[in-house]
């Protein structure tokens, strides 16, 4: 048994104390984490002997468990990320817009604040850093920014997404181009980028709101171009048009990596953890996305958009639970991106 000759901090006797490993649940910032923590136990009084290096090791272990639970990069991952891009601490901190001293502390094991933790998570994705560099990073000089942009852009292409989507689920619902899919084959990657874009540009993107926006995006696209936008099928639910099997689809798509859910008010809002990659979208398609975002933002509340969707002939005339045929796109209330009157809410 591993022991240590020391003075007990509780009974102050000189003892040979044994190390004991105990499984404990501890609370860190309101999050319960579990782990095996080592303590030095006094053989005389039975209390834990307070010792700085043991306390430090235990705290480090708790922080690690906390980060793991919340998917926050560990200190060595932060260092590896930064070095992977070839950034100094100053440059990396400037891109994330956090203090250099904070970044240094996180690399040495301090626990990041919630907002900084979110930035560190997002920093795993070079596209997020690219977007931030394009949008400013004003603490950097022009040369530094250009240099950094080159470094992250090099990592953007051909990269496997950290948001490893659960393809088994999405493939299970994948469908070929047909009248039901708006003559477009369903593509989960494309849908993920669409939703990431909507999350960044639509105010309070509640899940129910997202369903309707996708419906308008797809049906207007089909009406204007003869092809839907995402290849999703839509069904009539009591509260509006929804992507077919949307619970399954949302669960696979919003998996906490690229897309996550945040509790807000009485519902859940879809948030993007990184910028959308629209490199495979045409300018017309991007304009179409912007138009549907603007359309959605004209509604004060999610329920106003919901009520608007309840006037859609496709929704009114389809039996609950049945697929809404894309043929109804002709009578869509929203004018869409290609001109025509945009219906006022």
Q: For the CB of residue 55, give the shortest distance to Zn ion in the complex, in Å.
A: 17
10 binds Zn ion (CB under 5 A): yes
81 binds Zn ion (CB under 5 A): no
Taking the least distance from each CB to Zn ion, the nearer of 41 and 278 is 41
- Whose tokens are 């990069």? That residue is 73
Taking the least distance from each CB to Zn ion, the nearer of 49 and 98 is 49
10-18, 197-205, 229-237, 335-343 -> range binding Zn ion (CB under 5 A): 10-18
Q: For the CB of residue 12, give the shortest distance to Zn ion in the complex, in Å.
A: 7
Taking the least distance from each CB to Zn ion, the nearer of 42 and 242 is 42
164 binds Zn ion (CB under 5 A): no
16 binds Zn ion (CB under 5 A): no
20 binds Zn ion (CB under 5 A): no
Taking the least distance from each CB to Zn ion, the nearer of 54 and 119 is 54
8 binds Zn ion (CB under 5 A): yes
Taking the least distance from each CB to Zn ion, the nearer of 8 and 98 is 8
Taking the least distance from each CB to Zn ion, the nearer of 44 and 114 is 44
14 binds Zn ion (CB under 5 A): no
Tokens of 159: 């990269």
Q: For the CB of residue 10, give the shortest distance to Zn ion in the complex, in Å.
A: 5
Output the 3-class SS for the chain: CCEEEEECCCCCCEEEEEEEEEEEEEEECCEEEEEEEEEEECCCCCCECCCHHHHHHHHHHHHHHHHHHHCCCCHHHHHHHHHHHCCCHHHHHHHHCCCHHHHHHHHCCCCCCHHHHHHHHHCCCHHHHHHHHHHCCCCCCHHHHHHHHHHHHHHHCCCCCCCCCCHHHHHHHCCCCCHHHCCCCCCHHHHHHHHHHHHHHCCCCEHHHHHHHHHHHHHHHHHHHCCCCCCCCEEEECCEEEECCHHHHHHHHCCCCCEEEEEECCEEEEEECCCCCCCCCCHHHHHHHHHHHHHHHCCCCHHHHHHHHCCCHHHHHCCCCCECCHHHHHHCCCCCCCCCCCCCC
2-10, 27-35, 103-111, 301-309 -> range binding Zn ion (CB under 5 A): 2-10
Q: For the CB of residue 14, give the shortest distance to Zn ion in the complex, in Å.
A: 10
Near Zn ion by CB under 5 A: residue from 11, 154, 179, 304: 11
Contacts of 328 (CB under 8 A, 6+ apart): 219, 312, 313, 314, 317, 318
Q: For the CB of residue 13, give the shortest distance to Zn ion in the complex, in Å.
A: 6
Q: For the CB of residue 11, give the shortest distance to Zn ion in the complex, in Å.
A: 3
In the chain, how long is the greatest CA-to-CA distance?
88
Query: Strand 267-272 to strand 259-264: parallel, antiparallel, or no bridges (unpaired)?
Result: antiparallel
List 23's β-bridge partners, or say none.
Answer: 36
Dihedral class, residue 137 (left if φ above 0, else alpha if ψ from -120 to 50, else beta): left
Taking the least distance from each CB to Zn ion, the nearer of 15 and 220 is 15
Taking the least distance from each CB to Zn ion, the nearer of 17 and 196 is 17
Binding to Zn ion in span 32-61, by CB under 5 A: 42, 44-45
Q: For the CB of residue 93, give the shortest distance to Zn ion in the complex, in Å.
A: 45
Answer for the pair 40, 18: CB distance below 8 angstroms, yes or no: yes
Q: For the CB of residue 43, give the shortest distance to Zn ion in the complex, in Å.
A: 8
Taking the least distance from each CB to Zn ion, the nearer of 39 and 212 is 39
252 binds Zn ion (CB under 5 A): no
Number of residues lying near Zn ion (CB under 5 A): 6
Q: For the CB of residue 44, give the shortest distance to Zn ion in the complex, in Å.
A: 5
> Which residues here bind Zn ion, judged by CB under 5 A?
8, 10-11, 42, 44-45
């Amino acid at each position: 048994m591993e022991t240590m000759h020391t003075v007990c901090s509780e009974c102050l006797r000189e003892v040979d104390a044994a190390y004991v490993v105990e499984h404990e649940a501890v609370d860190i910032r309101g999050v319960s984490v579990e782990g095996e923590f080592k303590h030095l136990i006094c053989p005389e009084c039975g209390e834990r002997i307070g010792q700085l290096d043991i306390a430090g090791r235990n705290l480090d272990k708790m922080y690690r468990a906390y980060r793991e639970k919340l998917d926050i990069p560990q200190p060595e991952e932060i260092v590896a990320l930064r070095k992977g891009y070839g950034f100094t601490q100053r440059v990396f901190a400037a891109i994330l817009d956090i203090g250099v001293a904070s970044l240094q502390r996180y690399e040495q094991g301090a626990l990041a604040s919630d907002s900084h933790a979110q930035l560190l998570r997002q920093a795993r994705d070079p596209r997020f850093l690219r977007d931030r560099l394009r949008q400013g990073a004003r603490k950097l000089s022009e040369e530094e920014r250009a240099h950094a942009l080159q470094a992250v852009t090099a990592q953007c292409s051909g990269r496997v997404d950290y948001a490893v989507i659960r393809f088994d689920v999405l493939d299970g619902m994948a469908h070929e181009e047909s009248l039901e899919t708006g003559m477009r084959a369903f593509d989960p990657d494309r849908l993920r980028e669409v939703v990431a874009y909507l999350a960044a540009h639509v105010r309070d993107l509640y899940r129910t709101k997202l369903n309707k926006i996708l419906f308008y995006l797809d049906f207007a696209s089909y009406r204007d171009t003869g092809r839907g936008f995402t290849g999703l099928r839509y069904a009539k639910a009591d509260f509006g048009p929804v992507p077919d099997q949307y619970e399954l689809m949302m669960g696979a798509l919003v998996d906490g990596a690229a897309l996550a859910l945040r509790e807000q008010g009485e519902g859940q809002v879809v948030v993007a953890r990184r910028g959308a990659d629209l490199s495979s979208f045409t300018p017309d398609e991007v304009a179409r996305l912007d138009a549907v975002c603007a359309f959605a933002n004209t509604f004060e509340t999610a329920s106003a958009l919901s009520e608007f969707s309840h006037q859609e002939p496709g929704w009114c005339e389809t039996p609950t639970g049945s697929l809404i045929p894309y043929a109804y796109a002709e009578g869509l209330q929203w004018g869409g991106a290609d001109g025509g009157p945009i219906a006022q809410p």
